[in-house]
């Protein structure tokens, strides 16, 4: 029998999940930036900037940005650290193409390469990168543990992994408000701004199925990192996990 996993709240065959996720991001790719701004009231830009600040990037670092989407994180790194070598990557061609076009249009392509790949099977040698970032992408992995182990393998000895992802609010009252917003407002925003309520229903569900802060920390440690700490943002709606061997 085929192993099962979740696609939002639905149970699906593991083999099929990447196709379903791919369909979602193909559907939302053209309106991705507009929807991110609408869903987070623009705060996703601040969260990504905090990630880059926490990364403590070296001037000549080699960086892999997994699930880079339209390139927000890569753009920040490229503009602030022009001597870095950045690999923008995404499993979805339409998202990667949007990111590539944006990099060219906004002139941050000079130190960027573009790779269509799965974060669960990285086509790089061991000890390749100084930094790996994953912004709002890990929850869509079919096998998060395998992806984390691949990231650990591809990092240099003193390299770091930074994961920016939706998580679990700390305050119970705030959590109820957040749930109401996610399941009542987000799909309507998707319908109005992107003519696609189903994809944003999935995104809301996928956030609830993602491991909370402590569980994800343990997953990072179990993948081979010696240390993992996390920072809660907006009462834990979003968290940044940092895995390292320091």
User: CATH number for the domain including 227?
Assistant: 3.40.50.150
Tens digits of residue pLDDT in 174-198: 999 989 988 888 888 778 776 777 8
21-74 pLDDT, tens digit per residue, is 777 778 777 877 877 787 788 999 999 999 999 999 999 999 999 999 999 999
Per-residue pLDDT tens digits for 100-128: 999 999 999 999 999 999 999 999 999 99
Reported in sequence order, the residue ranges of the chain that DSSP labels E, i.e. its strands, are: 4-7, 10-13, 62-66, 85-90, 112-116, 129-135, 155-166, 227-233, 238-244
Q: Is the pLDDT of residue 142 over 90?
A: yes
Write down the pLDDT at residue 1. 55
Task: Indicate the average pLDDT of the chain.
Answer: 91
Mean pLDDT of 160-167: 97
Q: Are 49 and 28 a contacting pair, CB within 8 Å?
A: no
Number of independent structural domains in the chain: 1
Q: 204 lies in which domain range?
A: 4-244
Residues 6+ apart with CB under 8 A from 231: 50, 54, 239, 240, 242
Q: Is 19 exposed, middle or buried (CB count within 10 Å of its CB: 0-12, 13-18, 19+)? A: exposed
Please tell me the distance from the alpha carbon of residue 211 to that of residue 113, in angstroms, as a whole number: 31
């Amino acid at each position: 029998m085929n192993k099962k996993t979740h696609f939002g709240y639905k149970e699906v065959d593991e083999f099929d999940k990447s196709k379903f996720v791919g369909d979602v991001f193909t559907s939302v790719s053209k309106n991705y930036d507009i929807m991110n701004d609408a869903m987070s009231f623009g705060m996703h830009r601040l969260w990504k900037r905090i990630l880059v600040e926490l990364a403590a990037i070296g001037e000549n670092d080699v960086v892999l940005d997994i699930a880079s989407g339209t390139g927000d994180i890569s753009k920040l790194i490229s503009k602030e650290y022009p001597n870095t070598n950045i690999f923008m990557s995404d499993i979805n061609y339409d998202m990667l193409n949007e990111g590539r076009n944006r990099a060219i249009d906004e002139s941050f392509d000079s130190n960027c390469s573009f790779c269509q790949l799965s974060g669960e099977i990285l086509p790089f040698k061991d000890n390749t990168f100084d930094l790996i970032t994953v912004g709002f992408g890990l929850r869509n992995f079919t096998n998060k543990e395998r992806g984390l182990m691949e990231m650990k393998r591809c990092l240099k000895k003193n390299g770091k992994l930074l994961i920016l992802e939706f998580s679990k609010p700390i305050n119970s009252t705030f959590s109820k408000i957040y749930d109401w917003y996610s399941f009542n407002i987000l799909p309507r925003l998707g319908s109005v701004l992107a003519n696609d309520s189903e994809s944003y229903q999935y995104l809301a569900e996928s956030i609830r199925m993602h491991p909370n802060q402590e569980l994800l920390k343990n997953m990072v440690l179990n993948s081979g990192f010696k240390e993992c700490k996390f920072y809660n943002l907006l009462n834990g709606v979003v968290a940044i996990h940092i895995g390292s061997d320091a």
